[in-house]
Amino acid sequence: MRFVPGPDQLAYVRTVRRVLSGAGPLKAARAWAAGDLAPGRALWRSLAGTGLPGLAVPEECGGLGWYPAELAAAFVETGRAGAPGPLAETVALAAALARTPSWPERLLGGEELATVTDPASGYAVDPRAARAVFVLREGTLYLAAGQGPVLPSLDPARHLARCAPGEAVPADTGRLRALATLLTAAQALGAGEALLAGSVEYVAARRQFGRPVGSFQAVKHQLADVAVELEFARPLLHAAALAVRGDAAADPRDLPAAKAACSHAAHLAARTALQVHGAVGYTDEYDLTLLLRKARCLYTSWGTQDACRSAVLAGRPLPD
């Protein structure tokens, strides 16, 4: 098992990072929160242009192959950038529906987003932005026959709705569940890394009692704790990607362990960022606030801490 990204993986991550940096993802997230979905859709088309959804679909089905490790690395970047929309759900659905007629071409080009209910909460993320909404229930995937009112969440760029199941759709729901969990963990890790970087930058510039806030031991210790949690979570994410890929040496506990670790690290990064920023961390106009809220929502998405830890102890995957 290889945990160190190879040259091709690193090159692809740099490409994704360039696309994101040129697209203004946090501006797109603010527009998304206000109901303007166009910048977020354009961002997704740019990401799809790098082949991102194709990494979840076999070549014979029109994709590029089955590359969970590359997908996880790319989704760390989307989490770091704060990109809006049901991106993890769209890619996971592309993987699950790869052998279902008509669906691969609909999801590979970037023109359509899709979403699916999280089995734990029963809510679908951003159904207003999705051309197709699905319900995952007890190992079966259904097209949504209807949905309840769209509700806001803590993350303003994330809206939720409960959906009723309609017609069953042939799909690999195990792959759907595993990939959605992996990519959500990756987004959480990326958000945590961005929060740590923003916190370090802020305390280096902010002065109190004639000294940078970052020079105080208490602040150093808090940020160091976050750095350690993030650093320990990253190899777990790599191991989870290999488990999702199906490597013989992988362990079924790797995926829930990674989701628990990445979510916990991001949550700690968010709490610490709020503490070291003080009142400015509560300001809606401050970009960090978007990442704070996103990290909190990802904390419970596609695997709560209790569910992930129970799965690790039981040596089994997360249930549908």
Give the C-alpha separation, 102 to 190, whole Å. Answer: 33
| Residues contacting 1, CB < 8 A, separation 6+ | 239, 242, 247, 249, 250
Name all domains of the chain by residue range, CATH numbers in brackets: 175-314 (1.20.140.10)
Q: What is the pTM of this model?
A: 0.94
CA distances (Å), origin 99, targets 58, 75, 83, 90, 105: 9, 24, 28, 15, 11
Contact 320, 138 (CB under 8 A): yes
The token pair that represents 258 in the structure block: 């990674």
Per-residue pLDDT of the chain (320 residues; tens, 9 = 90+): 555 677 888 899 999 999 999 999 999 999 999 999 999 999 999 999 999 999 999 999 999 999 999 999 999 999 999 999 999 999 999 999 999 988 988 899 999 999 999 998 899 999 999 999 999 999 999 999 989 999 999 999 999 999 999 999 999 999 999 999 999 999 999 999 999 999 999 888 777 777 777 667 788 899 999 999 999 999 999 999 999 999 888 888 999 999 999 999 999 999 999 988 887 777 777 888 899 999 999 999 999 999 999 999 988 877 76
